[in-house]
Amino acid sequence: MVRWSVNHRSIVMLICFFVFISGVFIYGDMERQENPNVVAPKAVVKCIYPGASPEDIEKLIVKPLEKKINEIPEIKKLESFSMDSIGVIKVTLVDLSDEEIDKVWDDLKDDVDEVKRDLPEQAWEPEVITDFTETYGLLIALTSNQYGYKDLKEVAEELKDRLEEDPDVKAVDIDGEIHEEIHINLDMTKLEQYKIAPSTIAKLIKAHNVNIPGGNLEIGHIKVPVQTSGEYKDVEELKNTVIGISERGNPIHLKDVSDIQRTEEKKEVFITLNNQKALVVGVKYAEGKNMVKVSKRLRKIIEDFKDELYEGMHLTVFTDQADYVNDAIKLFESNLISAIILVVLVVLLAMGSRSALVVSSSIPLIIMSVFVYMKLNGMQLHQVSIASLIISLSLLVANGIVANDSMYLYLERGFDRETACVRGVNEVKIAILTSTLTSIASFLPLAMMQGVAGKFVKSLPILVSVALFSSYITSLTMVPALGYTFLKTKGEGKNKNNLLKKLEEYLKIDKFSKIILNKYKKSLGAGLKRPKFVIGISLAALLLSLMVVPSLGVQLFPPVERDQYVIDVDVKDGSTAERTGEIVEKIGEVLLKEKSIDSFMAKVGDGPLKYYITFVANNASSNKAQIIVNGKQEAIQHIQNLLDSKVPGARINVRKLENAMPVDFPVEVRITGEDISVLKKIANDVKNIVEDVPGGKNVQDTFGFDSYKLRIDVNEEKANLVGLSNYDIAATVRMAINGLEVTKLKQEYIDDDDLPVIMKIPDENKHNKEILENIFFTSSITGENIPIRQIAKIENEFAINKIIRRDTKRTITVGLFVKEGYNTEAVQKKVEEVLKDYKLPKGYTMAFGGASEERNDAFKSMKIPSVIAVAIIYLILVMQFGDLREPFIIMGTIPLSFIGIIWGLKITGYPVGFMALLGAISLMGVVVNNGIVLLDYIKLLQKEYETLSEAIIEACATRIRPIMIGMITTVISLIPLGITGGLLWAPMAYSIIFGMLVSSLLTLYVIPCAYLIVEGEKSIIRKFIVYLASK
């Protein structure tokens, strides 16, 4: 291949040019996104049972579903929440591929379908939700305090239609709508006066508002359809519905016993932007498209639409994922370009302009070949894929440096260019192949890693491997072809131009290099006289470094760094949406005064649209709200302190978005048992104990606030005597209080939705317990109206707000959030320490969890793949060196990189996390490659020198240049990422930088000394065998 490339340079260059141009065009139109799409192995099963208590939901809904779902063998965790009228079951699977996850979800849906036949008749059909990956990339807020929701919806619908016309828009939805309804507010006093029960009115309205075809009459030879007129035409006709006859024989109309209004539905769920009434238009970008380009088109539509708004309406782009994608991609692009420039500069100064041209020309070609691979395999451009190119840069340059250095040495010996290029590259091609394979093998743990973290970095090992393989191919083809064209023979002159020589003279590079080389030879010579001492010092440094690890702290993934954060609001259980809205408005008044905040959007009663891949919205609940804030992250602790002091009456937690799938609490204490009262007592004890743990904040439990309920205790004997069942009573009570849809009123225009007709007690009367006592029922036996107070007692009772189960057992979790500046691991250890002596009652258990569980799962999933990777690297080295001991010498240098990694994290202040480990894995291949280059040349020169020490010193002195150039290019290429990579990427960059610096320097001493010891033992054994043979 090498000789063919040298002899067919034009064909090689043409192929390279074609690949390069293809990559350029592909890059311009690649799909761009901020983060990889990660399919979380989670599903939610919801089932509504109107009027049921948490205990009934647990018994009649949750337990039957849990029992069947728990039979699925792939389930890792099963959580359920039994609340008033609704049961929610969360299913988490073990680590599986996306295809396997889809199959399990099919099984889950089948199981739910099987169980639903056994659920109560009044329960709604269970809903299975499995898609948590799709996000709304663009959120647009339409605000006005002058117009009603009906007007806002009309404008939002028009905007939606226009946005949907773009072919690269997948879907557009409107969030926060408040629909219109017809409310029949019953006057219970008048109903008692006329002795008309609410259930009677409901039946009469339903019977009146019908449209049943009368069939067809045959008149002559023509069929004439017959249609009876019965549907309500307008609200006035509804008001005049006759619902009874007075004692004087006069008709009683519906309007006589109620107030009927066309109004907006009760605001159980609503949105505000900067404390103004709002609707949100959410846009999902189509997959496989350049989000940034699509966003520009949509922004133009939005700007044009603003000109058509009514006066007093405002349209605001609240968040656009394309902006973050564009910023992230630009940052990584600049890092990549900076890295390339710095690498080229280092090679230029170290090897000369012609050698720099030969080595550096392969860099853009390799990068473009990676883009071609990504396009062919449907991969997206995001921060992980670009980071993989930056990591690859230092690795792929090494192959070109080694190949070029070998050609250069042959030219210096006086060989002609063809011979120098062919022999030089052929001499090192096995070493380059071995280095490439070991580097690829070092990324196997990431390629084999399961779970969310594994899926997050899935593209990294693939793209690094593609880049390394491309580097190997170019080092055997493009590099020798360019070397033949640009490198000069010894007789033709130097490979450096006049400008470069002047720069080197100015910087005194040559003089400095000679001083370094002489110092290295002397120190290596001294080390070879005491090789065991050198290795001992290295091992002592490693042990000392390992002792520092506990002080670093552990964090799987850092939070997202963007000028956006979330405020979770939790008001007392049972609070109305109106009360929660009042709290949110107070929070908004505080936020409006803060200069660090640009805007904020609040949703009461439910969670906002999913606008970020790891964002988890609140479950629907009138006492909860979430606020998304566009503002500086640095102000988070200040905002938390401000809200704690100025907004009482709610638990408020200000938090950053997470890079990993978030947990409920960073630190959790889970108490499991059967009796709710005992669980609650233990939870209160635990809260009191951990309240003062340093670094903890917002200590709370999942049981929530204390509350009470009104219990209607029906006397079944009395109810049966008048023909009433428990269901009749419960349904009528719900109709009177929460409202019951009794019919629908058709609109004037076909496209308009029918108006629900809701019958209920006026909202202002719901605070009056006596109104409840006067609800009537119609006896199916006597026909008389029976007040509820005659057949039931209404009593106050302590309320269980929700029952939480984990893996089919009742559980209460005490959770802590962590203050800014504190490490989650340290806070959890302190919590475990203060609770270690707590005595639990028999039958109750305590377990700790939170962020540590996700972290431990991620780290555990790397263990076996890491062992496999080390075994493969060892096998590759054995195949090259044909010896079992020499590969151990090389692999023994891998732990030396830990010295640099540990102190690098200590100096820069970053914790041990997934990205730091990723850096350590990336470094493993580089360290091994240095060992291969060094040991391979030592063995080559061993026969040419009288003593082994002389051969080692000469080989190391010769190979120090490519090793040092490789080290410097690696360090230099990652400095931009270390400076601008933030909390996510900087730990990885600094792990490689410091690990490379220390391991490269130590490798130059440890491998020669270790080889000398091993060869010395071989020599002793050989002499002993000769001695025995002579005897």
Q: Are 399 and 436 in contact (CB under 8 A)?
A: yes
Inform me whether the pLDDT recorded for 619 exceeds 80: no
Q: Which amino acid is at 1018?
A: K
Q: Are 647 and 590 in contact (CB under 8 A)?
A: yes
The 3-state DSSP class for residue 425 equals helix
Inform me whether the pLDDT recorded for 1024 exceeds 70: no
Cα–Cα distance list, 614 to 379, 452, 610 (Å): 20, 11, 9
Is the domain spanning 180-211+228-264+708-798 CATH 2.60.40.10? The answer is no
CATH code matching the domain that covers 664-707+802-845, chosen among 3.90.220.20, 2.30.30.100, 2.40.50.140, 3.30.70.1320: 3.30.70.1320
Q: What is the pLDDT of residue 274?
A: 93
Q: Are 687 and 699 in contact (CB under 8 A)?
A: yes
Within this chain, domains 1-30+352-488 and 504-558+853-1031 share the same CATH topology? yes
Residue keyed to tokens 């707590």: 838
Q: Are 451 and 95 in contact (CB under 8 A)?
A: yes
Q: Please, which contacts does 6-15 make with residues 24 or more away whose CB atoms are closer than 8 Å? A: 6/418, 6/421, 6/422, 6/480, 6/481, 6/484, 9/481, 9/484, 9/485, 12/477, 12/478, 12/481, 13/478, 13/481
Q: Are 106 and 90 in contact (CB under 8 A)?
A: no
What is the enclosing helix (H) or strand (E) of 387? helix 383-412
Beta bridge partners of 667: 816, 850
pLDDT tier at 544, thresholds 50, 70, 90: very high
Higher-confidence residue of 933 and 774: namely: 933
Cα–Cα distance list, 991 to 337, 443, 906 (Å): 21, 15, 10
The encoded tokens of residue 750 equal: 């076909």
Give the residue-averaged pLDDT of 659-688.
87
d(CA 187, CA 203): 18
Give the residue-averaged pLDDT of 674-698.
89
Is the domain spanning 560-657 CATH 3.30.70.1430? The answer is yes
pLDDT tier at 506, thresholds 50, 70, 90: very low
Instruction: Specify the length of the chain in residues.
Output: 1031
Q: What is the pLDDT of residue 627?
A: 94
Compute φ and ψ for 572, nearest 5 degrees: -50, 135
d(CA 1002, CA 535): 9
Mean pLDDT lowest among 677-691, 806-820, 959-973:
959-973
228-270 pLDDT per residue, tens:
666 888 888 889 989 888 888 889 999 999 999 888 877 788 9
In 3D space, the residue among 396, 419, 414 whose CA is nearest the CA of residue 483 turns out to be: 419
For residues 724-746, one letter each, b for 16 or more C-beta atoms within 10 angstroms of the residue's C-beta and e for the rest, the string is beeeebbbbbebbbebbebbbbb
Three state DSSP letters for 931-957: HHHHHHHHHHHHHHCCCHHHHHHHHHH
The encoded tokens of residue 680 equal: 């609650």
Strands 314-320 and 169-175: unpaired
Is the domain spanning 1-30+352-488 CATH 1.20.1640.10? The answer is yes
Residue keyed to tokens 């609940």: 621
The CATH code of domain 504-558+853-1031 reads: 1.20.1640.10
Phi-psi region for residue 89, left (φ > 0), alpha (ψ -120 to 50) or beta? Answer: beta
pLDDT tier at 167, thresholds 50, 70, 90: very high
pLDDT tier at 670, thresholds 50, 70, 90: very high
Q: What is the pLDDT of residue 543?
A: 93
10-47 pLDDT per residue, tens:
898 999 999 999 999 988 888 887 777 777 788 999 99
Compute φ and ψ for 513, nearest 5 degrees: -65, -40
The 3-state DSSP class for residue 525 equals helix
Which one of 314-328, 704-718, 740-754 scores highest in mean pLDDT? 314-328
The encoded tokens of residue 768 equal: 């009056």
Inform me whether the pLDDT recorded for 202 exceeds 70: yes
CA 122 to chain centre: 38
Residue keyed to tokens 């964002």: 615
434-452 pLDDT per residue, tens:
888 888 888 877 777 777 7
Q: Are 389 and 489 in contact (CB under 8 A)?
A: no
* 757, 758, 764, 765 alpha-carbon torsion, rounded to 10°: 130
Residue keyed to tokens 């050609």: 407
How buried is 384 (Cβ within 10 angstroms: 0-12 exposed, 13-18 middle, 19+ buried)? buried
Q: What is the pLDDT of residue 429?
A: 86
The number of C-alpha atoms within 13 Å of 347 and in the hemisphere containing its C-beta is: 31
Q: Is the dihedral of CA 211, 212, 213, 214 positive or negative?
A: negative
Mean of the per-residue pLDDT values of the chain: 84
Compute φ and ψ for 238, nearest 5 degrees: -65, -45
Q: What is the pLDDT of residue 726?
A: 76
Q: Are 339 and 976 in contact (CB under 8 A)?
A: yes
Would you tell me the crossing angle of helices 383-412 and 478-486 to the nearest 10 degrees? 50
Q: Are 389 and 397 in contact (CB under 8 A)?
A: no
Q: Which amino acid is at 433?
A: L
d(CA 812, CA 686): 11
Give the helix, strand, coil percentages of the chain, each rounded to 5. 55, 20, 25
Q: Are 672 and 842 in contact (CB under 8 A)?
A: no
Domain boundaries of the chain, sorted by first residue: 1-30+352-488, 42-129, 180-211+228-264+708-798, 504-558+853-1031, 560-657, 664-707+802-845
d(CA 731, CA 744): 19
Q: Which residues contact 980 (CB under 8 A, 6 or more apart)?
A: 331, 334, 335
End-to-end alpha carbon distance in the chain: 53
The third-level CATH classification (topology) of the domain covering 42-129 is Alpha-Beta Plaits (3.30.70)
**Rg value, the chain, Cα:** 37
This prediction's pTM: 0.79
